Structure 1
Amino acid sequence: MKIEKKDIILESKPARWGTKAYHDAKKLYLSAFPANERFSMFSLLAMSLKTNVKFHALYDQDVFCGIAYYVESSSTVYLTYLAVNQDLRGHGYGSKILTMLEEKYPDKQIVIDIEPVVPTAKNYKQRVSRLKFYERNGFHRTDQKLKDQDGEFEALTTAKKLDKSGFAKTLKDMSFGFYQFKIEK
């Protein structure tokens, strides 16, 4: 899939075992997300064998710019992981990746989860910055929390209201039903 926007052409390539896209995506994934918030690489690859689960490296021309890991169901696209190459952050690539997903799935809610924005958090400024980024890109807060063995995360969506059952179905489908979670206020 190629999306042209402001002289940048994003190309999304599946991150399949042994490919350059896989090596690029793996390196960024391991550096961008804390260990306690990551699935194992084996799990990511196994889940992405399902046709509705996508693990993609994104390139601008031949320059690796980021990753997107997401799962699609009938009503929901759950963006599990989004990361931009550290050297390219602040240049609009994250926004362009989100725009690409919104254009590909115009009739579905796109859902992400972020660390709760609480003033006592050690990385409070980073959390505020992350929330503002997503709000600038059409996401809004839902007052719903995704709770799992790693903690509590705030769900954001592009829809007017979070479709909790659609979100839950997407999470179960992504993980073959093995992921243990709760969605609550």
Structure 2
Amino acid sequence: MFMSMRKRLKIHAIYDQDTFVGMTIYFVSDKTVYLAYLAIDPNLRGHGYGSKILQLLEHKYQDKQIVLDIEPLNPDADNYRQRVSRLKFYQKNGWRRTHQMLKDQDGQFEALVDNAYFDKKDFARTLNQMSWGFYQFKIEK
């Protein structure tokens, strides 16, 4: 099982020439790509790198839904403005809210998807595959 996991889990450091831009971590299943982590160097944000990375993923995995999660827009959160900014960035890049909440021991997160249809069951299956069944989560509306 570990070998098949290794082929499905992708960790990429992103460079522009010799300049480190950021990194991605994502898991690829049969029908879903779960983008678990996308980070751009704070000094390089606003230069189009994040958008380009999303475009490259969408092109590479045209036949799959790509799902990521963000913190909910809780006005009482200390980083509320950052949460709103993050959502606007994804929406500007064509992603849409599913209003499906992923709950785990670390809190609650909303799933976003890159296309018009969100296959909640396959996303749940992908999370199970990624975590070998040890990750406890619940997806609910």
Instruction: Using structure 1 for the length normalisation, give the TM-score.
Output: 0.72
Residue correspondences, number: 140
Could you list the runs of 5+ residues in structure 1 that have no partner in the other structure? Answer: 1-45
Q: State the superposition RMSD in angstroms.
A: 1.6
Instruction: Note if contact 1:47-1:174 (Cα within 8 Å) is conserved in structure 2.
Output: no
- Report the Cα distance in structure 2 between the residues aligned to 1:110 and 1:85, rounded to whole angstroms: 22
- Report the Cα distance in structure 2 between the residues aligned to 1:83 and 1:93, rounded to whole angstroms: 10
Could you list the runs of 5+ residues in structure 2 that have no partner in the other structure? Answer: none
Greater RCO (CA < 8 Å, at least 6 residues apart): 2
Instruction: Note if contact 1:78-1:110 (Cα within 8 Å) is conserved in structure 2.
Output: yes
The one-letter code of the counterpart of 1:74 is: D
Moved over 3 A (4+): 46-49
Note the alpha carbon deviations across 1:121-162, whole angstroms, 9 max, x for none.
221111110000000111100010000000000100012121
Alignment of 1:152 with 2:103, yes or no, is no
- Residue 54 of structure 1 is matched in structure 2 by 10
- Report the Cα distance in structure 1 between the residues aligned to 2:25 and 2:74, rounded to whole angstroms: 26
The one-letter code of the counterpart of 1:115 is: E
- Report the Cα distance in structure 2 between the residues aligned to 1:122 and 1:149, rounded to whole angstroms: 20
Aligned-pair identity (%): 64
Alignment of 1:106 with 2:106, yes or no, is no
- Report the Cα distance in structure 1 between the residues aligned to 2:104 and 2:22, rounded to whole angstroms: 26
